[in-house]
């Protein structure tokens, strides 16, 4: 599956890793040509064309910390961690979803990376090892403990998550999380834990949530997901026994759907026509791509 079809991926921006650890090079980029992403906390300012809005570093709150996003068209691109940002682990609000749905994929990718990074800074103003304040270093790709005796270095966090299709007799297992809108079903998902391979996490999550034992787990596609900073790892698997035992703490419902039902739900889209058995996941979600991939097999 091509990366460019996946929302939040495909940014043309050059992360210019070498600049981050070169204070002189970074400083030289922070001139009048530098562009600052206009944000209200974690939310993007939206221009008349529906895209992101860029200002200059002069627009930044003097109390903000500045993050280097990378190079684009030869200019440094930055974002600010405003003092008011407390960090959020909540999913996006409906207004943000609407704005993101109208954004070009390039803007969406830049915004997603910036949001994850800013949110991480806002939730890591103190050192988890010693409790002292931390300060932003390496253009925002590190935070360092301000206490010389501790000196701990902290790096932006990415949480790998498995999201997986389970197949049996040509049908797919999909579930409803309690927070989903009415009639929405999607692929089951869960965080990968320390000490697990991707394939083991897939098997554990499906058994925990639906009581189903899977085999032949295979990788399909991945996606960065900025709420707050997940790496979605999309997989496919099979089961020989379709009997379900639902964990009602995790899921309101889980069901097997035929190929025709999945095809109809994907064709009617988020509107969810009367005829469709369920409402498919939105096109921004990697689950949407997993279902599309499956229908094309």
Q: How far is the CB of 261 from a copy of itself (least distance, A)?
A: 28
Give the per-residue contact string, 215-244, with a copy of itself (x = CB under 8 A; - = no). Answer: ----x-xxxx-x--x-x-x-----------
DSSP letter for each residue of 138-178: GGGTEEEES-TTT--EE----EEEEEEEEEETTEEEEEE-T
Candidate ranges 55-63, 175-183, 195-203, 262-270; the one touching a copy of itself (CB under 8 A): 195-203
Phi and psi at residue 22, in whole multiples of 5°? -125, 90
Candidate ranges 43-51, 54-62, 99-107, 194-202; the one touching a copy of itself (CB under 8 A): 194-202
Give the per-residue contact string, 15-54, with a copy of itself (x = CB under 8 A; - = no). Answer: x-xx------------------------------------
**Region class of 151: left (phi > 0), else alpha (psi between -120 and 50), else beta:** left
Give the per-residue contact string, 117-156, with a copy of itself (x = CB under 8 A; - = no). Answer: x--x--xxxxxxxxxxxx------x----------x-xxx
Q: Three-state DSSP class for 22?
A: coil
Distances (CA, A) of 295 to 1, 226, 290: 13, 27, 9
| Size of site (CB under 8 A) for a copy of itself | 63
Work out whether 198 is an interface residue with a copy of itself (CB under 8 A): yes
d(CA 96, CA 42): 10
Q: Which residues contact 57 (CB under 8 A, 6 or more apart)?
A: 30, 34, 36, 66, 78
Work out whether 292 is an interface residue with a copy of itself (CB under 8 A): no
> Is 75 or 157 the residue whose CB approaches a copy of itself more closely?
157
Q: How far is the CB of 138 from a copy of itself (least distance, A)?
A: 12
């Amino acid at each position: 599956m091509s990366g460019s079809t996946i929302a939040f991926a495909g940014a043309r921006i050059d992360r210019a890793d070498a600049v981050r650890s070169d204070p002189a090079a970074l400083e030289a980029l922070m001139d009048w040509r530098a562009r600052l992403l206009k944000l209200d906390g974690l939310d993007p300012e939206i221009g008349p064309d529906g895209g992101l809005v860029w200002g200059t570093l002069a627009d930044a709150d003097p109390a903000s910390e500045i993050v280097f996003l990378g190079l684009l068209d030869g200019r440094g691109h930055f974002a600010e961690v405003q003092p008011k940002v407390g960090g959020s682990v909540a999913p996006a609000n409906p207004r943000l979803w609407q704005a993101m749905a109208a954004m070009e994929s390039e803007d969406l990718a830049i915004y997603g990376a910036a949001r994850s990074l800013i949110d991480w800074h806002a939730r890591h103003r103190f050192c988890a090892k010693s409790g002292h304040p931390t300060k932003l270093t390496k253009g925002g790709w590190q935070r360092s403990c301000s206490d010389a005796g501790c000196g701990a270095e902290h790096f932006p966090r990415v949480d790998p998550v498995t999201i997986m299709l389970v197949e049996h007799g040509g049908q797919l297992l999909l579930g409803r999380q309690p927070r989903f809108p009415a009639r929405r079903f999607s692929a089951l998902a869960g965080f990968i834990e320390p000490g697990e391979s991707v394939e083991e996490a897939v098997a554990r999550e499906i058994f925990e949530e639906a009581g189903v034992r899977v085999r032949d787990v295979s990788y399909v596609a991945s996606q960065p997901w900025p709420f707050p900073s997940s790496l979605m790892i999309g997989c496919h698997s099979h089961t020989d026994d379709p009997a379900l035992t639902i964990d009602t703490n995790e899921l309101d419902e889980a069901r097997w759907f035929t190929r025709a039902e999945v095809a109809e739900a994907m064709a009617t889209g988020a509107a969810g026509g009367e005829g469709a058995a369920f409402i498919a996941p939105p096109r921004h979600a990697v689950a949407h791509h997993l279902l599309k991939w499956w229908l094309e097999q």
